[in-house]
Chains A and B, each alone.
Chain A
Amino acid sequence: MTIIVGDIMLNQWKKLLKKVFHKPSNTQGTGADRGQDIPVSADLAQNVACLRSVFDRCSDIIVREFDVGPGISLRAAIIYVDGLVNKKMLSDDLVKTLMYEAGKLKEKASGKNAADFFSEKLIAFTEVKHQRSMNDLVDSVLTGETILLVDGINSGFALSAQDWVQRGLQEPDTETVVKGPREGFNENLQTNIMLIRRRIKSSGLKFETVKIGEYTKTAVSICYLEGVVNPKTVGEVKKRLEGIKVDGILESGYIEELIEDAPLSLFPTVQSSERPDKVAGGLLEGQVAIMVDTTPFMLLVPVTFPQLLQASEDYYLRWPFASFIRGIRFVTLNIALLLPPLYIAVTTYHQEMLPTPLLISIAAAREGVPFPAFVEALIMETTFEVLREAGVRLPRNIGQAVSIVGALVIGQSAVTAGLVSPAMVIVVALTAIASFTLPSYSGAFALRVLRFPLMALAAGLGLFGIMVGLLAVLIHLSSLRSFGMSYLQPLTPTVWRDFKDMFLRLPWWMMDTRPKLMGKMNTVREEPGQKPKAPKRVRRTMK
Chain B
Amino acid sequence: MSQNEKVAGTQMMFLLVTTVAATGFLFLPAITAEVAGHDGWMSALLGATAFGLLVGLVCTKLGGYFPDKSFVEYAPVLVGKYPGKLVGLAYLLFFIHINSIIIREFGDFLVSAFLPETPILVFNIMVLTLAAMAVRGGIEVIARVNQFVFPQFFLVLAALVFLTIEEWEFGNLLPLLEYGIKPVLAGSVTPSAWRGEVVVILMFLPYLNKPAEAAKSVAAAVLIIAVFLTLPILAGVLVFGSEQEAHFVFPTLELARYVNVGDFLQRLEAIIIIVWVAGITVKVAVFYLASVLSASHLVGLSDYRPLVYPVGIITLVYSIVLFDNSRELVKFLAEYVPYYAYIFELGIPMVLLVIAIIRRKGGKLSGQTKFFQKDRGS
Contacts and interface: CB of A to CB of B under 8 A. Distances in A.
A and B: bona fide binding partners:
yes
Contacts, number: 83
Contact of A2 (B8, B125, B143): B125
B304 to A, nearest CB: 15
Given A474-B145, A479-B141, A463 B270 contact: yes
A478 B128 contact: no
B148 to A, nearest CB: 6
Contacts of B125: 2-3
A350 interface: yes
B270 A479 contact: no
Contacts of B143: 492
Contact of A461 (B115, B270, B313): B115
A471 B115 contact: no
A294 B160 CA distance: 58
Interface string B301-323: 00000000110110010000000
Contact of B148 (A2, A3, A4, A474): A474
A81 to B, nearest CB: 52
B264 A478 contact: no
Interface of B is mostly: helix
Nearest to A354: B267
B274 A478 contact: no
A479 B137 contact: yes
Which of A355, A476, A479, A493 has most chain B Cβ within 10 Å? A479
B220 interface: no
Interface in B103-140: 110, 114-115, 118, 122-123, 125-130, 132-134, 137-138, 140
A363 interface: no
B270 A3 contact: no
B277 to A, nearest CB: 4
Contacts of A355: 263-264, 266
B2 to A, nearest CB: 13
A3 B137 contact: no
Contact of B145 (A1, A478, A486): A478
B177 interface: no
Contacts of B273: 463-464, 467
Contact of A464 (B8, B115, B134, B313): B115
A488 interface: yes
A462 B271 CA distance: 12
A486 B130 contact: no
A468 B130 contact: yes
Contacts of A464: 110, 114-115, 123, 273, 277
A468 B263 CA distance: 30
A54 to B, nearest CB: 52
A364 interface: no
The 9 closest A-B CB pairs, nearest first, are A479-B137, A478-B144, A492-B147, A492-B144, A467-B277, A479-B141, A478-B141, A475-B134, A475-B133
Interface of A: 1-4, 7, 349-350, 352-353, 355, 461-464, 467-468, 471-472, 474-476, 478-479, 486, 488, 491-494
29 contacts: A2-B125, A3-B129, A4-B310, A7-B309, A349-B115, A350-B270, A352-B267, A353-B267, A353-B270, A355-B264, A461-B115, A461-B118, A462-B115, A464-B114, A464-B115, A467-B274, A467-B278, A468-B127, A468-B277, A472-B133, A474-B148, A475-B133, A476-B133, A478-B145, A479-B137, A488-B144, A491-B147, A493-B11, A494-B147
